[in-house]
Amino acid sequence: MEQLFKKLQEANVGKVLMNEYLKNHTTMKIGGPADIFVEPKSIEGVTKTIELIRAEGVPWRAIGRGSNLLVHDAGIRGVVIKLGDGINDLEITGNKVRVGGGYSLISLATVISKKGLSGLEFAGGIPGSVGGAVYMNAGAHGSDISHILEKTYVVFNDGSCEWLTNEDMEFSYRTSLLQKKRPGIVVEAVFQLEEGDRDIIVKEMQKNKDYRRETQPWNYPCAGSIFRNPLPNYAGQLVEKAGLKGFIIGGAQVSPMHGNFIVNTGSATAQDVLNLIKHVQSVVNDKYGVSLETEVEIIGGN
């Protein structure tokens, strides 16, 4: 690892750290150290990082703003690549928006709403990066990324780069091609939006943002929705019907505000959260015969 660390530093790919704790980079404030942590300063920095990693045969993975992640207490072996400030360019031309994968989704929704562009109102209050949102087809309030994405620039695990169209991405509920068939990093996206009434758009986005603030526990460290909705049922409603809101294991608690959120009350470990997830899944399955699948991405461990 030290040899790779030195090569990454010498290549000037961006910020390079050893044994950086992922709790500093996730909204749940949980997670052990990554052997090497890289925050590239450009798309070229991303591709160069992957080139050097592959030459050393070291495992790696990418993260965005850490809003949909639970990282094991043991951390992550290999390299973690974080898309941040170096991958956050924004260009608005007419109804099209070209934006870096590290750009904040909330910030993007705010910026374009003020320009009278419609299509991202649903993202008001959704934490995370543009890249993460495209990767998992983030959505809310009856819409999602698949409704507005024209194309996306992806760096694949073999270091190759390619523009993928909306159709290429094979979007479905909270899923895309990149999660299963062709793993890769979304470093840029182009969205096709529509002109609209600025005041109406801003008002709609603010309504969505207020709804999240009033119904979801973002005043505590959390990772967003823990379970996928087993439609036509909703995970939060099933958890609430099962009497599990407020249930605690260690420092992890099913939010008293929303059944599909697990919050870090201040001292939670990843194992606390995992134990609580298993307990909720078991109780809901026993009571209602419904298997809850996790939406949060669980990574790391030995």
* Residue 295 designated active-site: yes
| 255 is annotated as an active-site residue | no
Spell out the residues 6+ positions from residue 235 whose beta carbon is closer than 8 angstroms to its own. Answer: 225, 226, 227, 228, 229, 259, 260, 292
For the record, the structure tokens of 187 come out as 């470093």
Amino acid residing at 153: Y
Q: Is the peptide bond between 232 and the residue preceding it cis, with omega within 30 degrees of 0?
A: yes
Helices 198-215 and 105-114, interaxial angle, to 10°? 150
User: In angstroms, how far is the first alpha carbon of the chain from the final one?
Assistant: 16
Catalytic residue among 65, 129, 174, 188: 174
Query: Which residue is catalytic, options 67, 118, 129, 225?
Result: 225
Count of C-beta atoms within a 10 Å radius of residue 189: 25
SS3 category, 1: coil
Catalytic sites, residue numbers: 174, 225, 295
